[in-house]
Amino acid sequence: MKEFYSNGKLLISGEYLVLDGALSLAVPTKKGQSLQARPLDASILKWTSLDHQGQVWFEGAFRIEKKENTLDIIPLSGEGLNYRGVTETLVRLLSEAHRLRPSFLLEEAGYEVITQLDFDPAWGLGSSSTLINNIAQWAEVDPYILLWNAFSGSGYDIACAQHDQPITYQLNNKEPKATPVTFEPSFKDQLFFVHLNAKQNSREGIARYREYTGDLASSIAAISNITEKLSKATSLSSFESLLDEHEQLIASIIKLPTVKERLFDAYPHSIKSLGAWGGDFVLATGASDLVFDYFAKKGFKTIVPYSEMVK
């Protein structure tokens, strides 16, 4: 049996502009996803996906039809949440992994695969990116190429899947560069991740971002500068000022109010969207009692301290 593991992710700075070369700060999460693959004697791929509670949320069987050094992956049966969409995703990823390394899936007659998430899939910590990185490890192919050939994205989530500490991430002429950084702020006990009880479709946010007609180069430079300063901030006040500056800049680009303006205008400290605006987690600063009391009273009860979330 082969077993692989990938970390989840959160993007602290650089949302949207990371696609066009902005320097971004990202952190791997303590929770991720595992993949186990064991050989079978039959030409069948049995796939079971477990959630963070160990419950089956997807189950499917595929026939592997081998033709010299090519193969077809044909769905046979299955059930579960978004069965059709998950099936199409798996076929696309496995077929592309085979194209990148033609011996992949041909070394045994068949396989039984079990994946398990450590986190609630509604949290948006990277159920897709952790799967892609795990399949890439299994297939022994480049995970960034697998991502870009099968789907799209900046790749920062793949970098987080592979690193066990915070990183800065940047695309330079489509070449990903992930650099480990020492991001251990003395004020991390005043940093919290608050879930907005909603999952955001990143494609919608990216489409809005692509409508921007302003000075993109200037915005990229500004975000990169903020990222550099955020990763080295020594006081909570300077960190908060940078978060606020970042929020206002992104708001001006995608022409949406900040999450604080929209939902939490009376909150006395900083709140920053993470990744696609409108869902998943936000980063909130402040004393523990204040954060838990304020957000819980507003109905947002999934609040994770920085030290419990980040590797």
pLDDT in tens, 251-285: 999 999 999 999 999 999 999 999 888 779 999 99
Phi, psi torsion values for 12, nearest 5 degrees: -80, -40
Are the beta carbons of 161 and 277 closer than 8 angstroms?
A: no
pLDDT band at 206 (very low <50, low <70, confident <90, very high): confident
pLDDT in tens, 232-241: 999 999 999 9
pLDDT band at 198 (very low <50, low <70, confident <90, very high): confident
Measured distance CA(30)–CA(107) in Å, rounded: 33
Measured distance CA(42)–CA(14) in Å, rounded: 47
Query: How far is the first Cα of the chain from the last one, in angstroms, to the nearest whole number?
Result: 27
Q: Where are the domains of the chain?
A: 2-178, 185-309
Q: Is the pLDDT score of 303 beyond 70?
A: yes
Domains 2-178 and 185-309 share a fold: no
- CA torsion sign for 216, 222, 225, 230 is negative
pLDDT band at 3 (very low <50, low <70, confident <90, very high): very high
Residue 232 CB neighbours (<10 A): 13
Residues of the chain above pLDDT 90, percent: 87
pLDDT in tens, 5-52: 999 999 999 999 999 999 999 999 999 999 999 999 999 999 999 999
Q: What is the C-alpha R_g of the chain? A: 20
Residues of the chain above pLDDT 70, percent: 99
CATH architecture of the domain with range 185-309:
2-Layer Sandwich (3.30)
Residue 247 CB neighbours (<10 A): 21
Residue 299 CB neighbours (<10 A): 8
Phi, psi torsion values for 118, nearest 5 degrees: -90, -20
2-178: CATH number: 3.30.230.10
Instruction: Say which residue the tokens 């791929």 belong to.
Output: 45
Please tell me the predicted confidence (pLDDT) of residue 173. 87
Structure tokens belonging to residue 116:
């398990």
